[in-house]
Structure 1
Amino acid sequence: MTISIIRQPLATVDAPWVAAGIFDKDGGPASDLRGSAVEALVVRLLEEKEIKGSAGETIALHEPVGFRTRALLLAGLGAKARFDARAAYTAGVALAKRLASKPREKVGVSLAAVLEAGDPALVSSLVEGVCVGMQGPGLHKTEPNRHPFEVVLIAPEGTTDEALADLERLAARGGIVGQAVNLARMLANTPPSEKPPVVLAEVIRKAAEEHGVDVQVWNEARIREERFGGLLGVAAGSAEPPAFVTLEYLNGGDAPVVALVGKGVTFDSGGLSLKPSASMEDMKSDMTGAAVVVASILAAARLRLPINVKGYVALTENMTGGRAMKLGDVLTMRNGKTVEVLNTDAEGRLILADALSYAAEAGPARMLDLATLTGACLVALGPKIAGLFSNDDGFARDLADSSRKVGERLWQMPLDDDFKEALKSSVADLKNVGGRWGGAITAARFLQEFTADVPWAHLDIAGPSWVDAEGAARDAGGTGCFVRTLTAYLEAAAAVDGVARD
């Protein structure tokens, strides 16, 4: 996808399709539609409730009077007073998804409404959404159902040269972040037979090297040498060997290091604690945490952020082969702690335990893991909100601030010490599951045992990582959630030249 920006009146733009934002009935059409024949039509449609102007709504007007374009797509933005990054992103996805349904060489997208809202940074959110809307999940469709097009952003005629340069920078950022989201989505949507751990590791290696990120891939022998008992235990039931990938983007000089850790179960059958068939249908996406870590580090590299970031990605299948770990087995993890396995479908925490232990040994200033970890978090917070757990209030606040900035949703959950009681084992240091209650919390409390008191946060993204049903502003399948949050967090951390702060 190519993105360019022009500065001229909307009515004079010569493009087959032009998209322009409209707010709800209280905000109405943006400035570039006012005074035109279209303004009166939009106002009437809003008043008569034929359209609502809600975020994600689109309506096409063909041969609009007074415009050079052959078709004008009105993209709903919601309430003007509450217009934010989530609304801008949603509108971008919806308009791009609508227009990419057929081959189109070029589409103009007006920025007037976004700029009227008062925050030019929302231009990036709009472009991110446009990028995501142009890529669907149909990786193996014989006929493509999404057709990328050239995007021409239209700034109002009176935009100054300095402001135009800022818009160009924001548009370029949006393109990079949107492509990173699409990378995470593509990896999650790839069929499991096409991304066994070793193959996925090589995909990551090639992508990292292409963008100047140092990368190492460990094979099974190296993993055994490094004492990753959790990763080896989970992998034992699969014919496919595990892999462990480390990534380093060190562009921050003497600034502290941020460590990102991702769960990468490329298919999760549940192991001997076998999942029902219906519960396996989306388990190709159980490596979304790993995909988000990789995509976020590549985005930081492409943005040339002055920051030091290290990534750690544990990759395996969780299968039911003859050598699969059994209930009652005891695993010795990287940091020496022993874990009694009482549910083989609680495997993500086992591989993260090794990865977190290894990452903590390097002494990062902060350490964040992302994982599609528990169905319990989905029960607690629903399908659109991630659970945030942390041993550091300042870190948690910074992540929450970044998520709000980009319009993604998380909610901090408790991490009290009494939840550790549920993890006591009679034969080992820990067991890998607690009781019936607070499953997302006990899982996080388990992970905390492997953080070596490094400032740490855990995002349980089981809910927002996957969408079952298609909508006007979303695709079924992997969402690439929290790439946008992590990128914003790394940008903020780079701006203050360090992240170890209260």
Structure 2
Amino acid sequence: MNVQSISRPLSAIETPWLALGIFEDATEPPLAVRDLALGELIGRLLASKDLAGGLGDLTPLLGPHAPATDGVLVFGLGPQARFDAGAAYAAGVAVGKRLAGKAREAVSVVLPESTGQAALIASALVEGLIVGTQGPGLRKSEPSRHPFGSLQLISPSSDVPEADLAAAVKRGEIVGQAVNLARELTNTPPSEKPPTKLAARAAEVATAAGLGVTVWDEPKIREERFGGLLGVAAGSEEPPAFVLLDYRQGGDRPTLALVGKGVTFDSGGLSLKPSASMEDMKSDMTGAAVVLATMIAVAQLKLPVNLVGSMILTENMTGGKAMKLGDVLSIRNGKSVEVLNTDAEGRLILADALSYAVEQKPARVLNLATLTGACMVALGTKIAGLFSNDDPFAQEVLEASRLTGERVWRLPLDDDFKDAIKSQVADLKNVGGKWGGASTAAKFLEQFVGQTSWVHLDIAGPSWADSDSATRDAGGTGCFVRTLVALVEASLRTQ
């Protein structure tokens, strides 16, 4: 799909399809069309309350309406007072989904009116449009979405410098494609992405983006003393893999390490999940997919930063060599862990990955994991839990999430949660008691980062959508690629 920006009045443009946003509380047509016949039509429809501007609302006006030759799609932006990058992204997804249902040669979208945030809104809108044109139906016999031949973002106002608009649109295209990569990997059937195959795919796309890549096989993993990973992988016929990604374009700037959980299918092991709870467990590798996608986006944006990533990959199965309740595993940093629930496997593999990450002496470590159902009980399915040992770092992640509209809430990591993971036979046990499961899991992870500045995002809820909506597809969401890119960009303004 050819994506470009255009700065000129709508009267000077001709396009097959035009998408135009209106605010929920609008009483007049947008400025861009106010002097056109299309503006008169929209004004009448607003007056008769036949147009709705709620976020996700879509109203097609078929037939020629200059400057569109085939039709106009009026899309809702929500309340103007609350319009931000998150709303722009959601609106873009809705437009992309609706118009990509048929093959279209070209689609033009008008940049909504904003107050001093035109570049931010333009990028978010394009991100959403790109995401909306790719559905979850990877194996359908007939495609349900068709990327446009070309996508134009039109700024009718001269208030936005053309160079700034072009840069924002290019950024939006890169980030949107990165989100789609994370979604594609998450939605891939589990039999098609065992750890070694996923590692090979990651190496392929990372190398193409200019990242440094190293892949560890099972003998190397054993040599490096990844006891948690080997314990979880023991029940599967598929060997584990560990992917290291490297991007160093920041000179003497500090290094941020990203760590992603990559359980390519989670049966629960001998602590077997109910069948219904396994249906979406191909998504238990979302954290690893988000790390890969973020690293690729940063490389394609050519940001002058130092960023390393790791994807720790395994299946959690019930084979004859599967770890048993009561087994004790030795993690890379030397700590021993008593396994009392084999379905609490994510923290075991992350313990190895975090131990390795901090040994490399990055300034900061951030891990993402579909870690606990307890976090979903606490926060629902659309909000991630954030845990940290560093208040300023946590605040930076929260600010990046607010900038993108991805929702995060900080949860406690108090010292008393450590009591719940004390073992009688080992240094730690891998589950706590009945209460505070998200916090006890995070407290477990904290034991493997030492004094390094660290943030843990429990993305179990927002990583997957059970149902379709106007602004989101069912399946993998690619959550927090957008936030992590914004976090990396923000670091350039503060260092």
Which residue matches 1:500? Answer: none
1:146 equivalent to 2:117? Answer: no
Contact 1:114 1:120 in 2 (8 A): no
Give the partner amino acid of 2:143: P
- TM-score, normalised on structure 2? 0.97
Are residues 397 and 2 of structure 1, via their aligned partners in 2, closer, same or farther at CA, if it must alter by over 3 Å?
same
Aligned alpha-carbon RMSD (Å): 1.4
Give the Cα separation in 2 of the matches to 1:65 and 1:253.
Answer: 53
Which residue matches 2:233? Answer: 235
1:44 Cα shift?
A: 4.1
Give the Cα separation in 2 of the matches to 1:3 and 1:392.
Answer: 40
Give the partner amino acid of 2:322: A
Give the partner amino acid of 2:39: E
Question: In the TM superposition, what are the counterparts of 1:198-277 in structure 2 within 5 Å?
Answer: 198-277=196-275
Question: In the TM superposition, what are the counterparts of 1:372-411 in structure 2 within 5 Å?
Answer: 372-411=370-409
1:70 Cα shift?
A: 2.3
Structure 1: tracts of 5 or more residues without a match: 498-502
Give the partner amino acid of 2:63: E
1:80 equivalent to 2:80? Answer: yes
Contact 2:65 2:72 in 1 (8 A): no
Contact 1:25 1:43 in 2 (8 A): no
Contact 1:25 1:47 in 2 (8 A): no
Which residue matches 1:128? Answer: 127
Are residues 210 and 27 of structure 1, via their aligned partners in 2, closer, same or farther at CA, if it must alter by over 3 Å?
farther
Give the partner amino acid of 1:75: F
- Provide the secondary structure at the position in 2 that maps to 1:353: helix
- Provide the secondary structure at the position in 2 that maps to 1:179: helix
Give the Cα separation in 1 of the matches to 2:437 and 2:42.
Answer: 50
1:442 equivalent to 2:440? Answer: yes
Give the Cα separation in 1 of the matches to 2:270 and 2:224.
Answer: 26
1:473 equivalent to 2:471? Answer: yes
- TM-score, normalised on structure 1? 0.96
1:152 Cα shift?
A: 1.3
Which residue matches 1:422? Answer: 420
Contact 2:27 2:46 in 1 (8 A): no
1:47 Cα shift?
A: 4.5
Which residue matches 2:7? Answer: 7
Are residues 469 and 117 of structure 1, via their aligned partners in 2, closer, same or farther at CA, if it must alter by over 3 Å?
farther
Contact 2:18 2:68 in 1 (8 A): no
Contact 1:22 1:30 in 2 (8 A): yes
Which residue matches 2:52? Answer: 52
Are residues 27 and 439 of structure 1, via their aligned partners in 2, closer, same or farther at CA, if it must alter by over 3 Å?
farther
1:82 Cα shift?
A: 1.4
Count of matched residue pairs: 494
Give the Cα separation in 1 of the matches to 2:202 and 2:58.
Answer: 37
Contact 2:27 2:47 in 1 (8 A): no
- Provide the secondary structure at the position in 2 that maps to 1:415: coil
Which residue matches 2:290? Answer: 292
Give the Cα separation in 1 of the matches to 2:232 and 2:27.
Answer: 54
Q: Which moved more, 1:165-174 or 1:13-22?
A: 13-22
- Provide the secondary structure at the position in 1 that maps to 2:69: coil
Question: In the TM superposition, what are the counterparts of 1:291-330 in structure 2 within 5 Å?
Answer: 291-330=289-328
Give the Cα separation in 1 of the matches to 2:227 and 2:376.
Answer: 28
1:16 Cα shift?
A: 1.1
Give the Cα separation in 2 of the matches to 1:26 and 1:259.
Answer: 45
1:362 equivalent to 2:338? Answer: no
Question: In the TM superposition, what are the counterparts of 1:166-181 in structure 2 within 5 Å?
Answer: 166-181=164-179
Give the Cα separation in 1 of the matches to 2:117 and 2:297.
Answer: 26
Contact 1:11 1:69 in 2 (8 A): no
Question: In the TM superposition, what are the counterparts of 1:45-124 in structure 2 within 5 Å?
Answer: 45-111=45-111, 113-115=112-114, 118-124=117-123
Percent identity, aligned pairs only, is: 62
1:390 Cα shift?
A: 0.2
Are residues 28 and 460 of structure 1, via their aligned partners in 2, closer, same or farther at CA, if it must alter by over 3 Å?
farther
Are residues 74 and 334 of structure 1, via their aligned partners in 2, closer, same or farther at CA, if it must alter by over 3 Å?
same
1:43 Cα shift?
A: 3.7
Q: Which moved more, 1:468-477 or 1:28-37?
A: 28-37
- Provide the secondary structure at the position in 2 that maps to 1:16: strand
- Provide the secondary structure at the position in 1 that maps to 2:450: coil
Give the Cα separation in 1 of the matches to 2:117 and 2:423.
Answer: 56
1:30 Cα shift?
A: 1.7
Contact 1:190 1:284 in 2 (8 A): yes
Give the partner amino acid of 2:135: G
Give the Cα separation in 2 of the matches to 1:6 and 1:394.
Answer: 39
1:115 Cα shift?
A: 4.1
1:161-214 superposed Cα distances (whole Å, 9 cap, x missing partner): x70110000000000000000000000000000000000000010111101100
Are residues 81 and 435 of structure 1, via their aligned partners in 2, closer, same or farther at CA, if it must alter by over 3 Å?
same
- Provide the secondary structure at the position in 1 that maps to 2:229: helix
1:5 Cα shift?
A: 1.9
Give the Cα separation in 2 of the matches to 1:463 and 1:236.
Answer: 27
1:17 equivalent to 2:17? Answer: yes
1:25 Cα shift?
A: 2.7
Q: Which moved more, 1:476-485 or 1:24-33?
A: 24-33
1:7 Cα shift?
A: 2.8
Give the Cα separation in 2 of the matches to 1:291 and 1:199.
Answer: 13
Give the Cα separation in 1 of the matches to 2:141 and 2:182.
Answer: 22
1:8 Cα shift?
A: 2.7
Contact 2:17 2:68 in 1 (8 A): no
